[in-house]
Structure 1
Amino acid sequence: MRHRNSTIAYVIFALVAIGILFTVLTRPGTLIIPLLVFGSIFLLYKYPPSRWRSRSKSFSPPRFSSSKTKRRNATFRVINGSKDSSDEPPKYH
């Protein structure tokens, strides 16, 4: 069974190769636009625009502050709601 699936794959790949070769020989202009699109996508994937901007700026922010400042912990307050204090489910259930 495994040999049968690989044979089918080889036949499909051969037909695809024949179709591409036939298209290139008869109408080569039809492949220029897809090649340009896939080439530009590949170039943008390989060299993204964010890399272009980062080379002009070599400044990186410091990871740790030089001065040892003490942080103040946030204070949390409990806001009393209008719910009754019992842990029973609501009356409308």
Structure 2
Amino acid sequence: MKTLVIAAALASTFAASSAFALEPIPGSITYNGQPATKLTASPVGSPLTHSFTDQFGRDVEETYIVTESRDLQLVSRRFLGDN
């Protein structure tokens, strides 16, 4: 429950300011737009992590939040192995 509250707070904070908006990169779930299927079973505000290797060979971990419209909002990106 604590994670859900923190995730919802993060989503609203990032949504309020486009200056903090992350743009999808190749490999991101939302790189070519939203997925064709909606996440109907996931509660609004729930976090979703996605790990992949980008075009430069770096391991990437992204966190998304499920919005009220059932779209995914990218809220953080971390390059694994970076200090």
Q: If the TM-score is normalised by the length of the shorter chain, which range does it land in?
A: under 0.3
TM-score normalised over the length of structure 2: 0.28
TM-score normalised over the length of structure 1: 0.26
**Which structure shows the higher helix fraction?**
1
**Which structure shows the higher strand fraction?**
2
RCO comparison, higher one (Cα < 8 Å, 6+): 2
